[in-house]
Structures are given as C-alpha cells and as structure tokens.
Amino acid sequence: MARPAPVPLSKLHPVRFPDRCPVCGKVSPGHTLALDQLFGIYRPVSDDVFGRWQSQLPVCKEHERRLRLARRSDLLSVVGFALAGFAGLLYLVRFEMFAAGWWSWAAVLATGLLPIGLIRLALRPIFDIAPDDDLVEFELRNTAYAKDFIALNR
C-alpha cells in the first residue's frame, strides 16, 4: 500500500477537491461525503476549542460508505483503546500493583497506546484528515489524486 502524502493547508483556506473519487479515480462520481472535523479537542487551551471544519468530498457511491465507516471506526478504536488503558490504570490502582515496578506502567501504556499506533500505521483509510490549531492536514494514499489536490489548492 502506498505511503500517505501529507498535504497541510490553512484551516481558513477554501479547500477544493478534484472531481473524482479518491479511492478508485472515477471521474465525476456524482456523490459526496460530508467531512466534519473538530479543532482543538486534544489541546484545550487552543484558540479554536471545538471549532468545526466542514467540506464535501466527491466520492463514488461504492466508496462513500467505506470511507464513512473507516472514519467512524478510527474514532471508535481510539476511544476503545483509551478506555482499555484507563481500565488498566484502575485495575492497577485498585489492586496496588504499582508497587510491582515499572513493568506495570509499561503494560498500561502498551494496552492503551500500542494498538492505536498499529491502527494508525497499518489500517489507515485511503483518505484522512487531521485538524490542528492552524492547519488541516490531508493524508492521501493515492499519489495521482494527491498531485491533483495540491495543484487545486495552491
């Protein structure tokens, strides 16, 4: 699978997408996927806490559902693994296993963070968005689509 091509744009920049599906490359796909992201959820002291970024991604009907499910499953997996790490911490606190040594802390971190990292590396969708305080970073695995996207958004 191709490595993602990160394309950072200002969050104030009006984003234009090529009129083709980012998955299969079908021209004029006829459907769109609503993209909706929150800013500042990981940085509570940022200027744009819970500010929204919205756009419409042209995508073919066959891949619209796939991209929507991939974006939701990413969110659910991050929440699930974070809860698993929190449950591990509660278990260690409850049974006072922190006295056992550094390995107990490492086990909690591995339970909560390692699976998230593996999902981010191996199971990334072909199109993803990562908002930041000032930028919106698009990760595109289709290199031809990425080139057209960059040319449209100079």
User: One-letter amino acid identity for 147?
Assistant: K
22 falls in which pLDDT band (50, 70, 90)? Answer: confident
Per-residue burial over 138-151, b = 16 or more CB atoms within 10 Å of its CB, e = otherwise: bbbbbeebbebbee
Interval 66-121: pLDDT, tens: 877 777 777 777 777 778 777 777 777 776 655 666 677 777 777 767 776 776 66
Is the overall model pTM greater than 0.75, yes or no? no
Both tokens assigned to 131:
């908002």
130 falls in which pLDDT band (50, 70, 90)? Answer: confident
123 falls in which pLDDT band (50, 70, 90)? Answer: low
CA angle 123, 124, 130 (to 5 degrees): 150
132 falls in which pLDDT band (50, 70, 90)? Answer: confident
pLDDT at 41 over 70: no
3-state secondary structure 72-116: HHHHHHHHHHHHHHHHHHHHHHHCCHHHHCHHHHHHHHHHHHHHH
pLDDT at 46 over 60: no
Return the pLDDT at 124: 64
Contact in structure between 112 and 82 (CB atoms under 8 Å): yes
Q: Output the CA–CA distances (angstroms, integers) from residue 73 to 10, 14, 67, 76, in the order listed.
A: 26, 27, 10, 5
3-state helix, strand and coil shares in percent for the chain, rounded to the nearest 5: 45, 25, 30
Q: Is the dihedral of CA 88, 93, 94, 95 positive or negative?
A: positive
